[in-house]
A and B are shown apart, each in its own frame.
Chain A
Amino acid sequence: MVGLVVVSHSARAAAGIAEVAGEMGGDTRIEAVGGDGQDGLGTVPDDIETALAAADEGDGVVVLVDLGSAVMNAEVAIELSGVDAVIADAPVLEGAVNAAVTATDPTATLETVCEAAEAARDVDKT
């Protein structure tokens, strides 16, 4: 099963987004990671690497990120981790929900889960 990692500058935002996605995503493995490790805002590549390893069940991991340096740190973590992971070019919460739902499909692959996350860019709200 494809796993998910939610990366935010805020540990609480990451946990909250994972919580929302988890309600829709059944058995999907979702790891939340964020914060600078000192109770402040930011992201730490080592922490993201740990989350990648925890989310990986062998079928790869789709990574949802918020902004700026979180994207760069997620890239660094993926390159260092050896986990088959991709960053979804998607809004972090809507993408996480879409991906979590799609990952429960028995035919889901890393590619289809990432595509589902990226389809969230076109979600209309009004």
Chain B
Amino acid sequence: MSEDGVAAAAAVERVATRIEAERDHLTELDSAIGDADHGGNMARGWAEAADAVAELDDPDAATVVKTTGKTLMAEVGGASGPLFGGSLVFAAAELDDGITAESAVAFAETYLEKVTDRGDARVGDQTMVDALTPAVHTFKKSIEVDELSPLDALAKAVAAAERGVAYTVPIRASKGRASYLGWRSVGHQDPGATSTLFILEELLAAAETALNTTAPESADATSPTIPDEEA
């Protein structure tokens, strides 16, 4: 059994649960500047993705990510399908040899490149790129320059994404549907940046569980544990 595959599948399940819990919140954000479908589309897509992943037979991490991306592409309407889903499908190849600090950085960079190329968006356009770019850059720097552990690097990346989401509020949208609003987009938090942050927060939580470094929850029988195959 691939441990990376188990961890990746658990992460997809976590994201699906979180996005479902945030469905109304995301829809509310999208109704202010878009067409109020981000919460519903994402919740449906991630729920379908979690189901598709659950049906895989002993998948590796790359297969889990690719299946998730394919499902999101088919199920999430509008630009979120190709942006979230398409980018995952292409970035999945970076995990072909499993999840390491190095392959995780390559995965993150490819994902960011696909999102920015596909959406033709840059930092400051009030899109998901505003959360994703600082997260990916911080993750890479934390691993490669500061030599932090993958978990510490991911925690820093999440914090950076959080600041990126806050940054979308006072700026004017220049890409995506919100750009049609012009100056009226100022003062609104971007839904795509927000859902990107939620996904990253769940990736961190899933990684903490998989790497087993959080406070022990031995009393909690439902808490998933990774069996120690070396023992």
Contacts and interface: CB of A to CB of B under 8 A. Distances in A.
Task: Indicate whether A and B interact.
Answer: yes
A59 B77 CA distance: 32
A24 interface: no
Contacts, number: 43
Interface string B73-95: 11001110111001001100000
Nearest to B118: A72
A69 B118 CA distance: 10
A73 interface: yes
B119 A72 contact: yes
Interface stretch (A75-83, A89-97, A107-115): A75-83
B18 to A, nearest CB: 24
Contacts of A73: 73, 81-82, 86
Interface in B127-167: none
Given A79-B90, A80-B89, A44 B74 contact: yes
A22 interface: no
Contacts of B89: 76, 80
A76 B79 CA distance: 11
Nearest to A40: B77
A42 B78 CA distance: 7
A61 B119 CA distance: 23
A100 to B, nearest CB: 27
Given A45-B86, A79-B90, A69 B81 contact: yes
Interface in A51-82: 68-69, 72-73, 75-76, 79-80
A69 B74 CA distance: 12
Interface SS of chain A: helix
A80 B118 CA distance: 14
Interface in B53-78: 70, 73-74, 77-78
A46 B83 CA distance: 15
B73 A44 contact: yes
Q: Which of A36, A44, A69, A79 has the most CB of B within 10 A?
A: A69
Contact of A75 (B70, B74, B77, B82): B82
A37 interface: yes
A5 B81 CA distance: 20
A75 B79 contact: no
Contact of A72 (B70, B74, B82, B90): B82
Contacts of B81: 45, 69, 72-73
B82 A76 contact: yes
B77 A45 contact: no
A75 B82 CA distance: 9
B156 to A, nearest CB: 30
Contacts of A45: 73-74, 81-82, 86
A79 B78 CA distance: 19
A27 to B, nearest CB: 32
A42 B81 CA distance: 10
A36 B77 contact: yes
Interface in A9-55: 36-37, 40, 42, 44-46
Nearest to B79: A69
Given A75-B118, A79-B90, A42 B77 contact: yes
Nearest to B70: A46
Interface of B: 70, 73-74, 77-79, 81-83, 86, 89-90, 118-119
